[in-house]
Chain A
Amino acid sequence: MTPTSGPEPVIRVDGVGIRFRRNRRGRRSFKDFFSDSSRRSRPGEFWALRDVSFEVRPGEAIGVVGRNGQGKSTLLKLVAEVILPDTGSVTVSGGVAPLIEITGGFVADLTVRENVYLTAGLHGMRRHEIDERFDEIVDFAEISAFVDTPYKHLSSGMKVRIAFAVISRLEEPVILVDEVLAVGDKAFREKCYARIEQMLADGRTLFLVSHNERDLKRFCARGLYLDKGELVFDGPLDEALARYSSDHPPRPAA
């Protein structure tokens, strides 16, 4: 699992830039989105990320640090390929298990069982693969008694648990985690951590966005530090955290 040993990178981010409108209510003209996306910046828009490049080799565990609004989650979504960059390219070889908005695919009116098959299927699992893992998923979420209950009748804790259980059971080589571990009670959170550690031990690649230094240190060896949409530092996690806290002292004076 040493970062330098892997042959081909699983994630290659090359000169990526993406811009958003500053004012979401702003007016939009047809001309606006039929014109090609080039590097020119239009009024009312800002670059959430600019010229970000890095490579991730199989088995690496990467933590992304930075203040709110510096492009961390955007970077994660780009790697998950749920948004597309305006410049540069993102190449991810192999599938991704995104722990982003994990409950998003669940349908209130369908039962837990139907939802598990639906969500796992949408992430590319085949029916027989889900059949094999179904019991384990339900046991992990501790909701065996509710498999035929409509999803809307579950408690919010159960909803998150079953969602985590499904996504974390996807047999994909890359895992993306966005602060998702902040949810659930303490015991379940510990279980999630154990699951992630086990996935890392299996040789998976982890991409973690978090404000929690303890979480980052627990899983990650390499850190990316983003500031104002630029990748300021890419190297050992401890150094990244040190750079981050020296730029932004945790407790401002007075």
Chain B
Amino acid sequence: MSTALADRPRRTGAARYRQTLWLLTSRDLKVRYSTSALGYVWSILDPLVMAGIYYFVFQVVFKRSVGEDPYIVFLLSGLLPWMWFNGAVSDSTRAFIREAKLVRSTKIPRTIWVFRLVGSKGIEFALSLPVLALFAVVGRAELHWQVVFLPVAMVMQTVLVAGVGLVVAPLVVFFRDLERATKLALRFLFYASPIIYGTQDLPDELHLLAAFNPLSGIFGLYRAAFFPEQLDLLEVLVGAGMCVVLLVIGLGVFRASERAVLKEI
């Protein structure tokens, strides 16, 4: 045996996992930003245009009675994290299919195919926060101490997106219709989550139901930085529980279907 082979230290599984996850996450970002001159702008533009549309419709046309002022900050503080959730979940429908060749030829832990999406969309979200800050300054929104909940919200959302992705990614390989179903469910969820409104604006009988949507608690935590009244402890606790439950389900589904997924692609 040559010494080069024998002496090479082998790394622990965790270090290798982190390296691979980072490689694929940064690859996603690199591809995104190298293929278009406006790379970063595009990832910001989408939520900005959406925010502009909702602002016009609800503030200018309907003279809204929901949400809080400044409404544009209220909108963006829900829309930006929504873009993370929406982007990662809809991309996870193609997590295996798009990377089929790579999945077939490398032996990396398969959960990475999902977690890299959580990571790259999460990083894009973090990079979009300065835009929110800018609007907050311009709109003269008051910053409260509740801004410390930002990391809590991000951790909860990471757990949630990972859990949903782990369910969706393998199942789409068998049921291609699920790709469309997921798109539809996301559209429904957009209006069912407190993005253009706050959970306080819901009728009383819907409050408990809304708490079971983990996005309610998460968006409440984000918004608390500017609108402390949007924070509802019940929503946060129920939401945290839902996130953990979804992650456990996700890991279960993923483990049960991994073998079959590898055969199928």
A82 touches which of B10, B103, B174 (Cβ 8 Å): B103
Q: Contact at A109–B105, with CB atoms within 8 Å?
A: no
Interface residues of A in 60-75 (CB under 8 A from B): none
**Interface-forming stretch among A115-123, A137-145, A239-247?**
A115-123
B5 touches A171 (CB 8 A): yes
Q: Is the CB of A34 within 8 A of B256?
A: yes
B260 and A109 contacting across the interface, CB-CB below 8 Å = no
- B30 engages A114 (CB within 8 Å): yes
Asked if A121 meets B20 with Cβ closer than 8 Å, knowing A109-B34, A171-B5, A202-B4, the reply is yes
Distance in Å: Cβ of A199 to nearest Cβ of chain B: 10
Q: B123 contacts the other chain (Cβ, under 8 Å)?
A: no
- Residues of chain A contacted by B260 (CB below 8 angstroms): 33
Contact mask for chain A residues 127-150; partner B; CB cutoff 8 A; 1 contact, 0 none: 000000000000000000000000
Given contacts A84-B258, A110-B31, A202-B2, contact A171 B104 (CB under 8 A): no
A-B residue pair count with CB separations less than 8 angstroms: 91
Known contacts A107-B31, A110-B34; is-contact A203 B1 (Cβ 8 Å): yes
Q: Which residues of chain B from 172 to 200 have a CB within 8 Å of any chain A CB? A: 174-175
Q: Complex: how many Å from CA A203 to CA B1?
A: 5
B106 interfacial contact with A, CB 8 Å: yes
Cα distance, A37 to B256, chains bound together (Å): 10
Chain B residue with minimal CB distance to A58? B1
Interface size class of A (residues with CB under 8 A): 35 or more
- Give the contacting residue for B27; candidates A21, A80, A107, A171; CB below 8 A: A107
Considering the complex, give the chain B residue whose CB is closest to the CB of A150: B34
Whether B104 lies near A121 (C-beta < 8 A) is: no
Please give the distance in Å from B265's CB to the nearest CB on chain A: 10
* Subset of 24 A-B contacts with CB under 8 Å: A34-B256, A37-B259, A84-B258, A98-B105, A100-B105, A101-B104, A104-B106, A105-B101, A105-B105, A110-B27, A110-B34, A118-B23, A121-B20, A121-B23, A122-B24, A124-B11, A124-B19, A126-B19, A171-B4, A171-B5, A173-B5, A202-B1, A202-B2, A203-B2
B-contact 0/1 string along A158-198, CB 8 Å cutoff: 00000000000001010000000000000000000000000
* Interface residue ranges of A29-47 to B (CB < 8 Å): 33-34, 37
Q: Which B residues are CB-close (under 8 A) to A103?
A: 101
Q: Are B106 and A122 interface neighbours, CB within 8 A?
A: yes
B18 → chain A closest CB, angstroms = 12
Which residues of B are in contact with A by a Cβ distance under 8 Å?
1-2, 4-5, 8, 10-11, 16, 19-20, 23-24, 27, 30-31, 34-35, 101-108, 174-175, 256-260, 262-264
CB-CB nearest 3 A-B residue pairs: A104-B101, A203-B1, A101-B105
For residue A206, CB closer than 8 A to chain B, the reply is no
Q: Judging by beta carbons under 8 Å apart, are B105 and A102 in contact?
A: yes
Q: Which residues on A sit within 8 Å (CB–CB) of B35? A: 109
Inter-chain CA distance A83–B5, complex, in Å, is 26
Q: Which residues of B contact A101 (CB under 8 A)?
A: 101, 104-105
Q: Which residues of B contact A20 (CB under 8 A)?
A: 263
Is A59 part of the contact surface with B, judged by Cβ < 8 Å? yes
Contacts of A21 in B (CB 8 A): 263
B42 smallest CB distance to A (angstroms):
15
Is A81 close to B, CB under 8 A? yes
- Per the bound structure, the CA–CA distance linking A202 and B35 in Å amounts to 42
Q: Which of B34, B107, B258 has the most CB of A within 10 A?
A: B107
What does the 1/0 interface line of A186-230 toward B look like (CB < 8 Å)? Answer: 000000000000000011100000000000000000000000000
Q: Is the CB of B27 within 8 A of A118?
A: yes
Contact B20 A33 (CB under 8 A): no
For residue A96, CB closer than 8 A to chain B, the reply is yes
Also in contact, A204 and B105, with CB within 8 A (given A107-B27, A109-B35, A114-B30):
no
Rounded to whole angstroms, the CA-CA distance of A24 and B264 in the bound complex is: 8
Question: Contact flags (1/0) for A8-22 with B, using CB distance below 8 Å?
Answer: 000000000010110
Residues of chain A lying within 8 A (CB to CB) of residue B34: 109-110
Chain B's nearest CB lies how many Å from the CB of A75?
Answer: 14
CB neighbours of B263 from chain A (8 A): 18, 20-21, 83
- Are B262 and A84 neighbours in the complex by a CB distance under 8 Å? yes
> Which residue of chain B lies nearest to A122 when distances are taken between CB atoms in the complex?
B106
A104 to B257, CA, bound (A): 23
A251 within 8 A of B: no
Q: How many angstroms between the C-alpha atoms of A83 and B106 in the bound complex?
A: 10
B30 A110 Cβ-Cβ under 8 A: yes
The interface residues of chain A lying within 8 Å CB-to-CB of B103 are 82
Among B24, B107, B174, contact of A28 (Cβ-Cβ < 8 Å): B174
